Structure 1
Amino acid sequence: SELDMLGIVNAVVVSKGRYGRTKEISLSVPIEETEHVLLSDSRLGDIENAQPFVQARFDN
């Protein structure tokens, strides 16, 4: 991905055996610096007070 090529995130494909492969993504830069840059962008300034949706339960 572009973020991986820029060195912002690190993405590694990991084998989980019979559960298949998955991509583990970690942040390569300090979270405080990332937050400051995102909030200083005029297009993204409204995300400061955003609350992400958290799934409370699984329905089968």
Structure 2
Amino acid sequence: MIFEGAASVHLVHRALLERPIASSAWLTQETRLSPATVNSCLQQLETLGVVREITGRQRNRLFA
């Protein structure tokens, strides 16, 4: 399964390896990707079962 923007997904995944629990805001700052791109990458990583959202909220979410 190949996802669109694989390089961006890889950047987000690498950042999550540095900080196992992270917000999308931190990931945006760390990777220098746009917030929309980071959220798209997180959604793709969730689909793969690599990360999961742990707060259950719509805003200020954390991913692990």
TM-score by length of 2: 0.24
Higher helix share: 2
Larger radius of gyration: 1
Q: Whose strand proportion is higher, 1 or 2? A: 1
